[in-house]
Amino acid sequence: MATGSAMGSPAQQGTALCDLNLVNCTIIDVFAGRFLPHSTISIRNGRIAGINDNLEARKTEDMGGAYVAPGLIDAHVHIESSLLPPCEYARIVMPHGTTAVIADPHEIVNVLGYDGMRYMLNASQDLPLDVFFMIPSCVPATDFDSAGASFYASDMYPFLQDARVLGLGEVMNYPGVLKRDPSLLDKIALFRNAGKPIDGHAPGLSGADLSTYISEGIGSDHECTTPGEALEKVSKGMYIMLREGSTARDLRQLLPAVTKESATRFMFCSDDRHSNDLRDEGHIDFCLRLSLKNGMDPISAFRIACMNAPEWFGIKDMGAIRPGYKADLVCFSSFEDFHAERVYKNGKLVAQNGQLAIEMPKLAPSIRDSVNIKWLTSDDFIIPDKGKKVRVIEAKPDSILTENRVVEPLVKNGACVSDLERDILKLFVIERHTGSGNIGKGFISGLGLKRGALGSTISHDSHNMIIAGVDDVSIFKAARHLNKIKGGLVFTIGDQVVLDLPLPIAGLMSDKDADFVIERLKAFDMVYHEEGMLNPEPLMALSFMALPVIPKLKLTDRGLVDVEHFTTVDLYVDD
């Protein structure tokens, strides 16, 4: 997947027979900001050879006046969050018009380090989807939890030689930047000196602190939640990624910040999106539909979907319909209800009317087991009563932000227990990389679980085991079962496993095909509905409850973290 120019001199390219002419197109011209009806796109050797240049081709396809836009690009995604390996991820997103993604393998690298990074590169190298990478900057993410690996500047250097490695992934530890953390600044300096882009992650950061953060060379952010925040960051020179994930859905509220004048500084991204949402709701095409239906200018929308990401990341041969660029194209009939009707990758039809039109490579070999927990007993899940109030994490639907509540606990037999009347459940984070025996204990509200326990080995960013439950028997069973299946998702009631989804690739991804994963996710959705849970995506929401870089209160294997003050706090609160 080279990113250079097409081979051959201009004279040679001008006279050689083309492979394909797409005639009667209406081109979305993202350069001049206009439509070009009755156009012909000539394609040779997977690249655009000419536009309306009267070039001859071996094959001609009449597009019937359909619009033709550059292939859609996801500016920031954790493929692991789809629960699919790269080959199955590509099979799901390409029919939606996605031809390239910029992936940050932060999740698997936090579990497996160098081996995880190498796995993702190898597993994606022969795909028809262009998969570029940003090197994860925060492994471990913080000092508040236990990751499975550490990734220093010296570990990153060898990957700089890979053409698909574009820069440094989201710098989540913004307090570390402000406090001049030497290890973090070493990573930033490595990529800054190499002239590579550095992605940011700075929710709510503003004023002088934001300026200091940007001054280190950090040039993008995908954590904006208000138009004002987005515009301040744009005004200070950042690119802003408009995120529409499965839990964090920020696109609609950020649209007022996007104008024809500011559109050059925005990109679309999915960040964390489950495979069922990708298949049924969409990917970057879903972002386009939302934007267009909410009144965004079509040219601006396609600049955001196609053009701006290559400009920010320095990819020289995609993002527009231009001679010499890759022939990555999306054909469609309507702005009112945008759907990719034909998708071309490197000049070949890869999807049509929502169906893949090519054979995909087989699943890459798996890697070593990653779930290693200390032997547990039911006593490990007792939270003793100390005669004090306790802190409770309050989860919110469609958000990864939480509130920090303080309540009187429900006490039985000398222990603090779940309180169903107030929707307060016991919550545990169990270290699963080294078998250290660390268990963070706390409480959570906002899930609406009324019986049993939900558990997962997906808990950003260190991906320790996280379990919320009503009773200790269910919680204990969930922990033991997750260990048995080498990681995944589980719902238990008492000593019975009601439903699971094994994710043996780093405890994050399935070794089955996308259809299997999606059917299991649908089964989980049915369980959520049947059990009357308040949160529409309780396991997805649960996966962010151990993320100590998103306010306000989170739980790690080492205890509770007050993210606003970036400090640990005790579960128990003195009056």
Q: Where are the alpha helices (DSSP H) in 303-436?
A: 308-313
Rounded CA-CA distance 472/422 in Å is 18
Mean pLDDT rounded to a whole number for the chain: 93
**pLDDT on residue 549:** 80
Question: Residue 385 — φ and ψ, nearest 5°?
Answer: -80, 130
Share of the chain above pLDDT 90, in %: 84
Q: How confident is the model at residue 1 (pLDDT cuts 50, 70, 90)?
A: very low
Residue with tokens 């393998």: 105
Q: Above 80 in pLDDT, residue 542?
A: yes
Rounded CA-CA distance 554/401 in Å is 9
Helices (H) and strands (E) in the chain, counts: 17, 32
Mean pLDDT of 52-62: 97
Q: Between 502 and 272, where is the model more confident?
A: 502
**pLDDT on residue 14:** 52
Q: Above 70 in pLDDT, residue 12?
A: no
Q: Where are the alpha helices (DSSP H) in 95-206?
A: 106-112, 114-124, 153-156, 174-178, 182-193
Q: How confident is the model at residue 13 (pLDDT cuts 50, 70, 90)?
A: very low
The 10s digit of each residue's pLDDT in 211-230 is: 999 999 999 999 999 999 99
Angle between helix axes 114-124 and 86-93 (nearest 10 degrees) is 50
Fold held by 71-319: TIM Barrel (3.20.20)
Q: How confident is the model at residue 3 (pLDDT cuts 50, 70, 90)?
A: very low
Q: How confident is the model at residue 364 (pLDDT cuts 50, 70, 90)?
A: low
Q: What burial class does residue 302 get, using C-beta atoms within 10 Å of its C-beta: 0-12 exposed, 13-18 middle, 19+ buried? A: buried
Q: What burial class does residue 499 get, using C-beta atoms within 10 Å of its C-beta: 0-12 exposed, 13-18 middle, 19+ buried? A: middle
**pLDDT on residue 4:** 42
Q: Above 60 in pLDDT, residue 6?
A: no
The 10s digit of each residue's pLDDT in 86-116 is: 999 999 999 999 999 999 999 999 999 999 9
The 10s digit of each residue's pLDDT in 244-280 is: 998 788 999 999 999 999 999 999 999 989 899 999 9
pTM of the model: 0.89
**pLDDT on residue 374:** 87
**pLDDT on residue 365:** 67
Q: What burial class does residue 65 get, using C-beta atoms within 10 Å of its C-beta: 0-12 exposed, 13-18 middle, 19+ buried? A: exposed
The ranges assigned to domains in the chain are 71-319, 378-573
The dihedral over CA atoms of 334, 279, 110, 184, expressed in degrees to the nearest 10, equals 10
Q: Above 60 in pLDDT, residue 10?
A: no
